Amino acid sequence: MRTARDFHIAIIGAGAAGLMAAVAASEIVPGRRILLLEKNDRPGKKLYATGNGRCNFLNRGAEAAHYFSRESAESVEDWVVPVLQASPPAALESLFDELGVTAVHLEEGRLYPRSLQAESVVEALADCIRTRGVELRTQTTIVECRKTADGFILKSDSGETHRTRCVLLATGGKAGIQYGSSGDGYKMATSLGHRLAKPIPALTQLVVESPDPALAGVRVRGAVSLWRFSAAEAQEVSRDEGEIQLTADGISGICTFNISRYYEIIPNRSYAVRLDFFPEYGDEELFKFLKKRKQQLDGRSAGIFLNGLLPAKLAAHLMAEAGVDFVARSGSLEEEQLHRLVAQCKRYERRVAGTKSWKHAQVTAGGVLLREVDPGTLQSTKIPGLYFAGEILDVDGPCGGFNLTWAFASGRVAGMSAARSAASEENVRSSPAEPAAP
């Protein structure tokens, strides 16, 4: 078994953040002083599943304004700035290029490996740390992280212990639990005195109370908004536009994913999701547009009045909800029916029953409180030698490569900081004693 001073840094979790931290740290201290611990039988298991197997690994336009925090909603931008300044998307893109992963830009700043295979990203990182001699231990679940006078002792599920000067927690959150991130890092962080913003699933589907199973499979462009109700008020808490997907039990699609982080179980509060299938029109404009269309399609059946504007299944459903007689002529539609149709098209609303489980969430909102971590180094302000990177922190981003950008940027900053600190401590320890004053 290795003994006390063998490791400068132990990184717990070989996901995006942990792998990048190991790459960064091994630039500064010899790789054999770095231990990377992973509970799965291989590193980067979640990375293989990202971007539908293609891995949207960076967003070129990522900046602090893209990120959210549950506990530090107001100050998250200021907190994230130093991390993205030290490790901006352009620098990460160059780094990946050096490692052999050439990026291809598909849309809206989203970068993918040119191979369009997530394994290219995992292999490049794993190959780099292997070449630099980082010690990777897979099938090792860390169950305890204890502070000692001069470092930390880590205990694995097999009872093995590892002693290290610095610890970097890169265990992820709880999203995509089947890939290994089951909240272990939160337990370790809290056992060391850190506090959490309650983790909740984000970038996930909303489950609704009365779904329309007949609409399952419909994909339509529009706006989706989340409304919160209390006894006193109804408040729109988030809104996004894009492709909406209707499923057998709820509402999905990237724009729904993006607003899902705002759903939370709070006593005496309920939520509704509202879909607007014509966000480009106000109510009055849509009414005028439909009125004109009624004249244009005068002789045609009212049953197909919305066809060509919306997917047929959805169009028929909205017409039925608005009480339109399908066998009537479009020209016979009354103004009141058109107003009802406008309301259906712009305010299709369902009560939210919840979000999908952790297994279906792509990201965790919440995590280790940002005010207890120094954004310049990602070192704990409570426990010297303890560092954090990636999703374990109370930072989350929207779909589009922003979460992996965060994992890689924070992994790089934390890995470098931990290595610098360990290396400077080493120099102090190994430097000859000061000559005695004459």
Ligand X SMILES: Cc1cc2nc3c(=O)[nH]c(=O)nc-3n(C[C@H](O)[C@H](O)[C@H](O)COP(=O)(O)OP(=O)(O)OC[C@H]3O[C@@H](n4cnc5c(N)ncnc54)[C@H](O)[C@@H]3O)c2cc1C
Site residues, ligand X (CB under 6 A): 12-18, 37-40, 45-46, 49-51, 55-56, 141-142, 170-172, 175-176, 180-181, 184-185, 362-363, 390-391, 401-404, 407
3-state secondary structure of 326: coil
Tell me the closest approach of the beta carbon of residue 331 to ligand X, in angstroms: 49
40 vs 85, beta carbon nearer ligand X: 40
164 vs 403, beta carbon nearer ligand X: 403
385 vs 401, beta carbon nearer ligand X: 401
202 vs 314, beta carbon nearer ligand X: 202
In terms of Cα–Cα distance, which of 107, 175, 183 is closest to 141? 183
Tell me the closest approach of the beta carbon of residue 257 to ligand X, in angstroms: 10
* DSSP at 268: T
303 vs 411, beta carbon nearer ligand X: 411
Neighbours of 395 (CB within 10 A): 29
Helix residue spans in 29-132 (DSSP H): 45-49, 76-86, 89-98, 118-131
Tell me the closest approach of the beta carbon of residue 95 to ligand X, in angstroms: 16
Region of residue 326 (left: phi > 0; alpha: psi -120 to 50; beta: else) = alpha
Tell me the closest approach of the beta carbon of residue 84 to ligand X, in angstroms: 14
51 vs 109, beta carbon nearer ligand X: 51
* Cα(25)–Cα(31) distance, integer angstroms: 8
* Cα(75)–Cα(78) distance, integer angstroms: 6
Give just the sign of the alpha carbon dihedral 314, 315, 319, 320. Answer: negative
260 vs 403, beta carbon nearer ligand X: 403
* Cα(414)–Cα(83) distance, integer angstroms: 9
93 vs 184, beta carbon nearer ligand X: 184
Tell me the closest approach of the beta carbon of residue 289 to ligand X, in angstroms: 37
* Token output for 166: 């610095």
383 vs 423, beta carbon nearer ligand X: 383
Tell me the closest approach of the beta carbon of residue 359 to ligand X, in angstroms: 9
Query: What are 107's strand-pairing partners?
Result: 110
Tokens 């191979």 belong to 115
In terms of Cα–Cα distance, which of 418, 374, 347 is closest to 165? 418
Tell me the closest approach of the beta carbon of residue 169 to ligand X, in angstroms: 9
DSSP run (H or E) holding 315: helix 312-321
Alpha-carbon distance values, 302 to 162, 310, 327 (Å): 73, 14, 6
Tell me the closest approach of the beta carbon of residue 42 to ligand X, in angstroms: 9
Tell me the closest approach of the beta carbon of residue 244 to ligand X, in angstroms: 19
Vertex 280: Cα angle to 264 and 309 (nearest 5) = 100
* Cα(370)–Cα(201) distance, integer angstroms: 18
In terms of Cα–Cα distance, which of 139, 180, 182 is closest to 48? 180
